[in-house]
Amino acid sequence: MAAGELPPPVCGEYDVVVCGAGPAGAAAAIAAGRLGRRVLLADMQSQVGGLIASYGIGTFGDSPGGPIFDELIERLQAIGAAHLLENPERYYPPGRWRCGTAATSAVLLEMLREAGVELLLMTVAESAWLADGAVAGVTIVNKAGRSLVRARVVIDCTADADIAASAGTPFVQGDPEDGRIQQSAFRAGIEGVDAGRLPPPQELEALCRAAVASGQITPPDAIFGIHAECFPFSRQSGALELGAWELRGIDPTDPCQTTEALAQCQLAALQIVRFLRERVPGGESARLTRFPAAPGTRESRRIVGRYTVTREDVLSGAKFDDGVTPAWFFLDLHDPPPGTSTPFALEFVQQNRPRPGDWYEIPYRCLLPIEPPGLLVAGRCISCDRPAQGSLRVIPTCIFLGHAAGTAAARAIEADVHPHELDGVALKREVMGDWRP
C-alpha cells in the first residue's frame, strides 16, 4: 500500500494472521493457535489444504515427517484415508504416503478448529500493511469488500510470497541464468469410457497424433515433449485421467499468462473428449468431468532471507544451530530443457539427495525476510536456491516449515520481540521436542 494512502476499514485484530491455507499455512496456524495465540487464517480457495485440495495432490513426498505431519497421517489412517507406498530403492523409509485429498483437507480443518484458529475462505490476502517500517497487518479482499486486519505477526504462506513481495521483501524467481521456471501441470478427469475396449496405448497415441495433425485437437501453446502430440491417459476402472500435462514458461504471478494457459488446456480437454467419442473404440460415451480448481504450479517467487538454503546444503546433509526443519527429498526439479525432468532415473534420485540415513536441516533464517520486520514466510517460497526448492517443496516439509513459523510467531509475541530477534536455537529445541528424524 502506498505511503500516505488511507487504510481500509479495520475488520479484526489478531496476534497472528496467516495468509494461505496450504500445507505450510495450515500448520503455521495450528502451531500458533495451539500456543494460545489468536490466529486468523485466510485463503482465496474454498477449502484448506492448498494444492492438496485445489490440484488434488494426494501423494506426500518421502520425508522424515514431523510432529504435525505425523499427527495428520495418524488421523487419516484412522479413517482409512492414508496408506504407505514403499519403494526402498527410490524412497527413504518409511516411504511416501498416499492420502485422500478431501479427507486431508477436512482433517486439517478439524485440527485448525481444535486449535481455535479463525478461518476466512474465499478471501484474498492483498498486501502487507506497514506501520513504523514493520508489517502490522494485511489488507484482505472478499465478498464483504476490502478491509484491514491488524496483526502482531503476519506469516506469508501464499506459495508465491505475495505478501512479502507487497511489503518490499527482495525476491528471486526462476533460474538465475535464463529465468526459466519449473513446468507447471494440468490434468482433467474423463468418465464414461469403456476401458476394456480402448485400443492399446501405442494405438491410442497414434490416433491422438493424427487428431493433432488434422486440427481436431489443438495442443496448448505451453505444452511440450511427448504431450504435445499424444496425450497420456492413465486408466482407472472406467475413468480416464488426462495425466499431468507439463507446461513450460508459465509465470504464476502473471494472471494473463496463467489464464491463457488454463483456457487453452481446458479447451484442448474438451476437444479430446469429442475425439474420444467420435474416433476411439470404447470412448463413445466419454464425458469430461473434472478440472483442478487451481493451476499445478511448482515454482514461483522465492524470498531473499537471512540465509539461503542451497543444493550443496541438501546434498551434504547440512545441519544448523537454528535448523528447524529436517528433510531428505531429492532435488526434484521439473525443469524444461536444458534442465532435468521426469521421469527421473533411480540413479539420479539416489545421487541427488542426502546420503542414506542422513538429512539436511532448513535454518529458521530462511523463513525470515531480510526486510521488513514483523513478517515470516513458510512453504515453497522460503529463501532457497532453485535446486533446493525442488527438494523442500514437498508437502511434509512445507508442513514442518509452517509448524516452525507458527511457533516462532507465537513465541516472538510472547517475548514482545520481532520474529527476527527470536533465539533460533531455542526455537529449534521447541519445534523438534522429542521428535527425531
Ligand X SMILES: Cc1cc2nc3c(=O)[nH]c(=O)nc-3n(C[C@H](O)[C@H](O)[C@H](O)COP(=O)(O)OP(=O)(O)OC[C@H]3O[C@@H](n4cnc5c(N)ncnc54)[C@H](O)[C@@H]3O)c2cc1C
- Rule CB under 6 A: which residues touch ligand X? 19-25, 42-45, 50-51, 55, 57, 59-61, 124-125, 157-160, 162, 185, 296-298, 379-380, 393-395, 398
Residue 353 or 380: which CB sits closer to ligand X? 380
User: In whole angstroms, how close is the CB of 21 to ligand X at the nearest point?
Assistant: 5
Rounded to a whole number of angstroms, the minimum distance from the CB of residue 43 to ligand X is 4
Shortest distance, position 228 Cβ to ligand X, whole Å: 18
Report which residue's Cβ sits closest to ligand X.
22
CB 133 within 8 A of CB 167: no
- Measured CA to CA, the distance from residue 394 to residue 392 in angstroms comes to 6
- Closest contact distance (angstroms) between CB of 139 and ligand X is 11
Q: Is the CB of 162 or the CB of 251 nearer to ligand X? A: 162
Q: Which is nearer to ligand X, 227 or 393 (CB)?
A: 393
- Minimum CB separation of residue 385 from ligand X in Å reads 16
Residue among 323 and 379 whose Cβ is closer to ligand X? 379
Q: Is 365 within 8 Å of 376 (Cβ atoms)?
A: no
State in angstroms the smallest separation of the CB of 10 from ligand X.
Answer: 18
Residue 82 CB, shortest distance to ligand X, in Å, is 13
Our CB check for ligand X shows the closer of 21 and 230 to be: 21
CA angle 366, 372, 378 (to 5 degrees): 35
Nearer to ligand X by C-beta: 393 or 420? 393
Least distance from ligand X to the Cβ atom of residue 256, Å:
17
Please say which residue, 64 or 283, places its beta carbon nearer to ligand X: 64
8 A C-beta contact, residue 98 and residue 80: no
Name which of 30 and 286 has its Cβ closer to ligand X.
Answer: 30
Q: Phi and psi at residue 3, in whole multiples of 5°?
A: -60, 140
